[in-house]
Amino acid sequence: MNKKVTIGVVQAAPEYLNVEKSMQKVEALLREAAAKGAQLVTFGETWFTGYPAWIDYCDEYARWDFPATKTVFARTHAHSLDVNGPEVKQIGEWAKELGVVVVMGINEKVGSGIGNGTIYNSLLTWNEKGELANHHRKLMPTHTERLLYGHGDGAGLQAVDTSFGRIGGLICWEHWMPLTRQTMHNSGEHIHVAVWPKVHDMLQVATRSYAFEGRCFAVGVGQIMRVKDIPSELKLPPEFEGKPEYMILNGGSCIFGPSGETILAPQWGVEGIFTAEVDLNKCYEERLALDVTGHYQRHDVFELTVNKKRPK
């Protein structure tokens, strides 16, 4: 098996709460990544149209009936993506044209049906044919995220086939949920995409541990967010006054291999597309000693069932 794959990690600031500019940036970044030889192109948590890091920097944002937060919530909803909408289709067309697999975190809204006023923290995967191969909604928004996001479901807890291997992904603190990790391991990942706001020290641990446990390559995708990206409706905390270029989110994107080895060291405070070639044969070499889906899993002792129904 000759399965060498080039992974592209996009660590670039999104266009906050602006669908039109975000689409322009997506196209430019995909073309740049493809020109660098990337076959898999990865973006961070809710990259389209921006992670709401502002909710962690001022207590008043979480006040009951606070007008500014409600305004920003409505703007976020307006600039979120419907998976059945034209933007998702267009990104698929770019993926097909360039022959790349794309994994991207998005703010998702629902066009109709259950949750049509709710925003979901979602992760989309387009295959190299341009098809939307997987649509995962974050199971449990973490801490302050619960102000903005609804609960996800198990429908997208799976890896999907591509021309070079099986690709899966989880969002942020889902990597601390043991049964979620096991479900993804059971789906047979070769490459796992772990999307984060920034990949700080404990999230480096989670990403590296996931690679070792799952005997796969784990891509930790961090983001760039500057003070100037905080929505204008919100008052800046005093420590941010006069510092528009200060990075609230400063990246940390990284790649670890199936034995826990570092493929791409954490990238801090820089924007760009970082690439690395990996050999998927390593996934099988390392399963000689540990395979949590096979000889190191006691199927006669443990049973794991997953509800994969999505509310309609």
Do residues 273 and 9 touch, judged by C-beta distance below 8 A? yes
Q: Distance (Å, rounded) from C-alpha 140 to C-alpha 220? A: 19
Catalytic residue among 15, 45, 108, 189: 45
Query: Residue 198 in 3-state DSSP?
Result: coil
> Among 238, 162, 179, 161, which Cα is nearest to 170's?
179
The contacts found for 172-179 with CB under 8 angstroms, 24 or more apart, are 172/45, 172/138, 172/142, 172/196, 172/197, 172/203, 173/140, 173/142, 174/138, 174/139, 174/140, 175/203, 175/206, 175/207, 175/210, 176/206, 177/139, 177/140, 179/304
Using alpha carbons, list the distances in angstroms from residue 4 to 24, 63, 276, 301, 308: 30, 51, 10, 36, 32
Is 216 labeled as catalytic in the residue annotation?
Answer: no
Using alpha carbons, list the distances in angstroms from residue 161 to 133, 170, 270: 8, 16, 32
Using alpha carbons, list the distances in angstroms from residue 143 to 55, 132, 140, 298: 10, 29, 9, 34
Is 45 labeled as catalytic in the residue annotation?
Answer: yes
Per-position DSSP letters for 30-48, written without gaps between them: HHHHHHTT-SEEE--TTTB
Catalytic residue among 109, 138, 198, 282: 138
Catalytic residue among 15, 109, 128, 172: 172
Name the residues annotated as catalytic: 45, 138, 172
